[in-house]
Amino acid sequence: MLSHKAKYALKALLYLAEQDENHISRTVEIAEGANIPKKFLEQILLDLKRGRFVSSKQGKFGGYYLIKSKNDITLAEIHRLFDGAIALLPCASLNFYEPCADCKTESECSLRHGLMLIRDKTLKAMEGITIASLVNK
């Protein structure tokens, strides 16, 4: 399941994607438009900025805007940024790989193969969903 943070991030990106080119959105505007707690959204937007999805203008009349094409922002990326691995166990993960502590006696974790198959299918599906594909749906 997605965390609220990831869900709010997606809704915020969706909001930004619906604005006119060159429009800068204040946090409070996004919060009201997408129904997200404002102070919580602040943190989320900072995370999105660190992840190079959005950029900001500080000071009066400042705000946030997309710096990545809405066609290139996928659900997989947002999931990884806020909720981490897409695989069901770390030993089956591409970006968050860790060996299982409780599998050291076995040559390899017995679940790993199956979970990697699932990861591949899920990842492919998540990479197919972009912000652009969600706008106006």
Q: Closest separation between CB of residue 86 and a second copy, Å?
A: 9
Task: Spell 10-36 as b/e; 16+ CB within 10 A means b.
Answer: bbbbbbbbebeeeeebebebbbebbeb
First to last CA, the chain: 21
Interface residues with a second copy (CB under 8 A)?
1-2, 7, 10-11, 14, 35-36, 75, 79, 84-85, 87-90, 102-103, 105, 110-111, 113-115, 117-118, 121-122, 124-126, 128-129, 133-135, 137
CA–CA separation, 80 and 59 (whole Å):
30
Other Cβ atoms less than 10 A from the Cβ of 47: the count is 17
User: How many residues form the binding site for DNA (CB under 7 A)?
Assistant: 26
Per CB under 7 A, 92 contacts DNA: no
> Taken in order 65, 25, 70, 37, is the CA torsion positive or negative?
positive
Stretch that binds DNA, among 10-18, 43-51, 106-114, 124-132 (CB under 7 A): 43-51
Per CB under 7 A, 47 contacts DNA: no
Q: Closest separation between CB of residue 69 and a second copy, Å?
A: 17
Residues that bind DNA in the complex, under the rule CB under 7 A:
3-5, 8, 26-28, 37-40, 42-43, 45-46, 49, 56-64, 83
